[in-house]
Amino acid sequence: MLRRLILLIRDEFGVSKSQARAFLVVATLMVASWSLPLVYDRMLDNEGFVIQPQDIQKADSLVAILEKSQVLSKSYPSYTAKNYPKETQGNPEQPLTLFYFDPNLATVEQFQALGMPRFIAERIEKYRSKGGKFRKKEDLQKIYGLQPTLYEKLEPYISLAKEESKTQPQATLTSAAEVATVAVPPKSNHFSKPLEVVFDINTADTTQLIRLKGIGSKLAARIVKFRDGLGGFVSESQFSEVFGLDSLALGELNRLARVKSPVKKININTASPEDLDRHPYLSRRQSEIIVRYREQHGAFQSEEDLLKIKILDEKLVSKIAPYLTF
């Protein structure tokens, strides 16, 4: 029968005699591995799965402990907002006192007296220290974490100072602020903000630029480097070309910086490729082609002659023309 089975396998699959035997062995092992677990389960004695008395006692004791813990939990008060850290609430230990205040001038203690959590008050102070400013009442809602219900209570009492009174000390707040739990001692030497003056961007140094909001030492140095590379700004629209300027810094430049001094120009008919390549608007390849075209066709007479160079488009020529002489 075994030979007959091997012959059937060889005829069916077209394999050799040895391959047919190997196939038969593998098939036998597969059937055995599949059937052995079933046979083993049936051979097991059902008594092996009976729960022992000691296990029943342990289970009963665990159930009793759980029931007791549930009874105890009902006798304790629920975990209310009183259990949370004080910083996530207002100031429940302090009576809520409403008074007129300027969010650009109020102190942390005064914010707390108004019912704000301390961490929100400190967040406002940090926002102001980085140059942030509240220009209208609704700006206070931008502070992350300030509850809308608290803002609705404080909104009628927000009093923003006018432009001419920005430099006045915090004494402009109403005297009702004195009811705060922590008294704020008056400052004898109040810091007054330096007067903001319009300046020439083409002659300004980094010290003058650092005085503007949103501009630090690195950004000031980057502005001066870009300006010197250009030869000076010809338009205030070029401020946005400085890498890394955010909306705050750009707004400060547009507000106070002016283009008053003339720019340094390059003689297009005598400049070398290296001289032209130093300008931020021209690449090394463009500079070399300009000089090569000049050597082949003669001196440039006007900026229209630059448009004859195929790699220079009208937009680039209009940008570079204020810095060239012919």
pLDDT per position as a tens digit, 195-231 = 578 999 999 999 999 999 999 999 999 999 999 999 9
Instruction: Name the nearest CA neighbour of 324 among 224, 295, 86, 294.
Output: 294
What is the per-residue pLDDT across 145-181, written as a single tens digit (0 to 9) for each? 888 888 888 888 898 876 444 444 444 444 444 444 4
Calpha distance 269→266 (Å, rounded):
9
Q: Is the pLDDT of residue 119 over 90?
A: yes
Average pLDDT, the chain: 80
β-strands 324-325, 266-267 pairing: parallel
Q: Is the pLDDT of residue 271 over 80?
A: yes
User: What's the predicted TM-score (pTM) here?
Assistant: 0.41
201 near 217, Cβ under 8 Å? no
Sequence-ordered strand ranges (E) for the chain: 199-200, 257-258, 266-267, 324-325
Q: Is the pLDDT of residue 284 over 80?
A: yes
Residues 276-290: what's their mean pLDDT?
94
Q: In the chain, pLDDT over 70 holds for what percent of residues?
A: 76
Residues 88-101: what's their mean pLDDT?
60
Q: Is the pLDDT of residue 47 over 60?
A: no
- Residues 287, 289, 292, 296: is their CA dihedral positive or negative? negative
